[in-house]
Amino acid sequence: MNSPVILVTGAARRVGAEIARTLHAAGANLVLHYRASAPEAEALAAELNARREKSALARRRDLRDMDGLAGLVEEAIAHFGRLDALVNNASSFFPTPVGGIDAAAWDDLIGSNLKGPLFLAQAAAPHLARTRGCIVNITDIHAERPLKGYPLYCAAKAGLLGLTRALALELGPLVRVNAVAPGAIEWPENDADFPPAAQAAIIEHTLLKRVGAPGDIARTVKFLIFDAPYITGQVINVDGGRTAHL
C-alpha cells in the first residue's frame, strides 16, 4: 500500500519498457500505458507481477484522444489508490519535410508528443499534489537543436520542453516537473530513417563515440523521481556529450 505508484506512457516496448523495469526494481507499482502494443504490454505486466504480486497494470489509451486521458489517471487511482509520478515517454517519430506536412502528421506528432502529455499532466496534477509527486517528460536533444527533415517532430518536442518549465512554475511547490532529453539511444526501427552512414556520422559527433542504452535514460528518470527532491524545471541531456558541440 505504501509503494509509490507511477504511470508510464508508451511503456510496452523499447525505452519505455526499460523505464518501467527500472522503476519497478526500485519498488514502484506501475500503470503501463500503451496504444497499439497490447501483447508486449500485457507480457511486461505479467513479468512484473511475477516478480511482485499485483504491482503492475496495463492500460490502453490513444494519447491523441483528449477525452480518455483523465480516465487513464482515474483508473490508476482506482486500482492503486494513489499516484506519485507521471512519466510522459510515449512519442511518435517520423520525418515531415516542409511541403509535405499535412493535418494527419500534425495530429499524430503534436498529439503524442505535446497534447497528450499536457492533458495527462493536468489530470494527474491534483493527485500528484497530494503525494508531493513529480512529472518526468521525455523530450529530445532536437527540441533545442532541430534535426533536418523533422521540423514538426522537433517543434512538438520543443513544445514539451517549454511545457516542462511552465508546469514546474504552475505546479510548484507541491509537484516537481523535469525532463530527460535523449540523444542517440536506440535507432528507429525503420532503418531508412537513419542508414548506416547517418548513424556513423552521429556517433562520430558524439563525445563518447558510442550509442547510449535505454538503461541510461531509465536510470536518469529514476534519479529525478526518487533522488532529486530539490530539482524542478530542468532538462537533463543524456546524449554522450553530443550537444556539447552540436
Residue that has been written with the C-alpha cell 531508412 in this structure: 192
Is there a catalytic annotation at residue 153?
yes
Residue that has been written with the C-alpha cell 523505464 in this structure: 19
Q: Taking Cα atoms as reference points, which of 17, 41, 49 lies closest to residue 221?
A: 17
DSSP strand pairing (235-238 vs 176-182): parallel
- Pair 101, 110: CB distance under 8 Å: no
Q: Taking Cα atoms as reference points, which of 246, 238, 221 lies closest to residue 7?
A: 221
State phi, psi for 140 to the nearest 5 degrees. -175, 145
The dihedral sign for the CA sequence 186, 191, 194, 197: positive
List 34, 150, 153, 230, catalytic entry: 153
Distance in angstroms (rounded) separating the CA atoms of residues 46 and 220:
25
Angle in degrees, CA 115, 119, 122, rounded to 5: 145
Angle in degrees, CA 165, 73, 28, rounded to 5: 80
Catalytic residues: 153
